[in-house]
Chain A
């Protein structure tokens, strides 16, 4: 379990900036009433698609997938872990910031 968390963290690190940017941008637009909550989630999901696209186009990123495979993990599974974690974090932050 600990090894899975470590590997997932190494996998998450290069996308962290993009994930945080999308999270804070969505929360900002929800707070300034330019986005409603369902639309914010839709934007967040769209940001995941963009991150996947950037990773795919960045040839160096796809090369590093071999490290994770050699550690015994499929890339699809790792994306599922990190995006699930990120989405849960986003939901919690969004809930906290919209509590009145």
Chain B
């Protein structure tokens, strides 16, 4: 089967007359990881929410294989990891997971210690770190064709970041994954392509040196 291609084009997002995003073009096909970098407030999270369908800009064109997508989450086309906690309380983790995890990845997901050890509990019984870990895994392993991850490496240990990167790489064989984080080294490490958002524009990054040219980094380690 041909890989699906998610395209986002001509996004215009304004807040109080200030243009946050004005000339955005990005595409991601199943089988690749696309990293988005940019300074605070440049519109990275907003762009992900626009693709997901929970933020309505003045204009946008989001499509999958040429088919216009109004709300990315309809029919599980796109899943999104927000920066905040999102799992409902009072329902067993096992029940929450079964409704959204992709059957192809169920064995991988269920073998993970954070699920395996706590599947009979509810979210309220887990620590903040465990909840975040579970939420991230549930989005990466979800049934959606495309996965959007907003700051998946924030508030987790380096060991966990390495684990997530391996999982992202594995799932990206059959899904398209778009992610953003301020931990640019993790993004550079896991991504097949990089897009930088600067002054509302998306710029494809061919060489890491360009991140210095565009003023995102002062130096690269």
A residues apposed to B, CB below 8 Å: 3, 6-7, 10, 13-14, 63-67, 69-74
Which residues of A are found within 8 Å of B91, using beta-carbon distances? 10, 13
Which of the 9-residue segments B58-66, B73-81, B165-173 touches chain A? B73-81
Q: Given the known A-B contacts A3-B99, A6-B95, are A72 and B76 also in contact in the complex, defined by CB atoms under 8 Å?
A: yes
Say what secondary structure dominates the interface of chain A: helix
A28, B83: Cα distance in complex, Å: 45
Interface size class of B (residues with CB under 8 A): 20 to 34
Which residues of B are found within 8 Å of A7, using beta-carbon distances? 99
Q: Given the known A-B contacts A10-B96, A74-B71, A74-B73, are A69 and B54 also in contact in the complex, defined by CB atoms under 8 Å?
A: yes
Q: Given the known A-B contacts A6-B95, A74-B71, are A67 and B88 also in contact in the complex, defined by CB atoms under 8 Å?
A: yes
Which residues of B are found within 8 Å of A67, using beta-carbon distances? 86-88, 96, 100
B88 touches A69 (CB 8 A): no
B86 touches A63 (CB 8 A): yes
Which residues of B are found within 8 Å of A70, using beta-carbon distances? 73, 76, 79-80, 86, 100, 138-139, 142, 144
Which residues of B are found within 8 Å of A66, using beta-carbon distances? 54, 80, 82, 86
Q: Given the known A-B contacts A72-B74, A72-B76, are A14 and B54 also in contact in the complex, defined by CB atoms under 8 Å?
A: no
A63 touches B80 (CB 8 A): no
Q: Given the known A-B contacts A3-B99, A7-B99, A74-B71, are A69 and B87 also in contact in the complex, defined by CB atoms under 8 Å?
A: no
